[in-house]
Structure 1
Amino acid sequence: MSIKLLWYLTAPDGPYPWDPKGRWKTDFRHLEQLAVTIDRLGYYGALLGTSANESLVVASALISATERMRFLVAQHPGELSPAVLAKYAQTFDAFSNGRLLFNVINGNDAGLAALGVHYPHDERYDFSREYWDAFRRVYAGDTSGYDGKFVKLAPRSSGPSPMGTWNPPTQLPGIPLWGAGTSPAGVAHSVELLDVYLSFANTPPLLGDKFRRVGAEAAKIGRTLEYGTRLQVIVRETEEEAWAQAEWFLSKSSVEHARRSAERQLPPGVTLENYRSDNPIIQKNVDTLLSGRLPSAKDLEIYPNVWVGPAWFGFDILGPASGTTLVGSAENVAARLREYEAQGTNAFILSGWPLIDEAHRVADLLFPLLDLDHGFDVPSLGVQAKPRLAPPPKAAAA
Structure 2
Amino acid sequence: MTVPPAQLLWYLTAPDGPYPWEERGRWATDFDHLRHVAETIDRLGYYGALLGTGRDDGLTVAAAMAGATRRMRFLTAVYPGLASPAKLAQIAHTIDRFSGGRLLFNVVNGNDATLAQYGLHLGHDERYDFSAEYWDAFQRVYLGEPEPYEGSHVRLAGRGGADGPLSPWGSAVRPTPLWGAGTSPAGVAHSAGLLDVYLSFADTPRRLGEKFRRVGAEAAKLGRTLRYGTRLQIIVRETEEEAWEHAASLLRATSVETALELAKWNLPEPIETYRSQDPLVNRRLEALRSGRLPDVRDLEIYPNVWTGPSLFGFDVVSPSSGTYLVGSAENVAARIREYQEHGVQSFILSGFPLIAEAHRVADLLFPLLDLDHGFEIPSLRAGA
CA separation in 2, counterparts of 1:65 and 1:330? 30
1:158–1:165 contact (8 Å) kept in structure 2? yes
CA separation in 2, counterparts of 1:114 and 1:274? 30
Corresponding residue to 1:28 among 28, 31, 43 = 31
- The Cα offsets for residues 276-314 of structure 1, whole Å up to 9 and x where unpaired, read as 323333222223323332211111111100101215xx6
CA separation in 2, counterparts of 1:135 and 1:103? 14
- The Cα offsets for residues 346-381 of structure 1, whole Å up to 9 and x where unpaired, read as 10100000001000100111111111122339xxxx
Q: CA deviation at 1:106?
A: 0.3
Residue 205 of structure 2 corresponds to which residue in structure 1? 204
Q: CA deviation at 1:315?
A: 4.2
Map residues 338-353 of structure 1 onto 2, 5 A cutoff: 338-353=337-352
CA separation in 1, counterparts of 2:74 and 2:268? 34
CA root-mean-square deviation: 1.7
- State the secondary structure of the residue aligned to 1:247: helix
Q: CA deviation at 1:169?
A: 4.1
CA separation in 1, counterparts of 2:290 and 2:193? 47
Q: CA deviation at 1:217?
A: 1.1
**5+ unaligned residues in a row in structure 1: which ranges?**
378-398
Residue 296 of structure 2 is aligned to residue 297 of structure 1:
yes
- State the secondary structure of the residue aligned to 1:101: strand
TM-score by length of 2: 0.93
Q: CA deviation at 1:258?
A: 2.1
CA separation in 2, counterparts of 1:81 and 1:53? 20
Corresponding residue to 2:101 among 79, 92, 98 = 98
Q: CA deviation at 1:175?
A: 1.2
CA separation in 2, counterparts of 1:223 and 1:165? 30
CA separation in 1, counterparts of 2:185 and 2:166? 41
Corresponding residue to 2:82 among 79, 83, 100 = 79
Map residues 1-398 of structure 1 onto 2, 5 A cutoff: 1=3, 2-159=5-162, 165=167, 168-170=170-172, 172-268=173-269, 271-311=270-310, 315-319=312-316, 320-376=319-375
Residue 396 of structure 1 corresponds to which residue in structure 2? none
CA separation in 2, counterparts of 1:350 and 1:33? 17
1:90–1:167 contact (8 Å) kept in structure 2? no
The size of the alignment, in residue pairs, is 371
* Distance of aligned partners of 1:166 and 1:45 in 2 relative to their CA distance in 1, 3 Å threshold: farther
- The Cα offsets for residues 45-92 of structure 1, whole Å up to 9 and x where unpaired, read as 001011111110111011110001000010011010000110111111
- State the secondary structure of the residue aligned to 1:142: coil
1:199–1:228 contact (8 Å) kept in structure 2? yes
* Distance of aligned partners of 1:297 and 1:355 in 2 relative to their CA distance in 1, 3 Å threshold: same
Percent identity for Structure 1 against Structure 2: 64
CA separation in 2, counterparts of 1:61 and 1:103? 18
Residue 382 of structure 2 corresponds to which residue in structure 1? none
- The Cα offsets for residues 91-134 of structure 1, whole Å up to 9 and x where unpaired, read as 11110010000000101123223323222111111111110000
1:282–1:302 contact (8 Å) kept in structure 2? no
The farther-off stretch of 7-16 and 246-255 is 246-255
Q: CA deviation at 1:164?
A: 7.0
CA separation in 2, counterparts of 1:26 and 1:373? 29
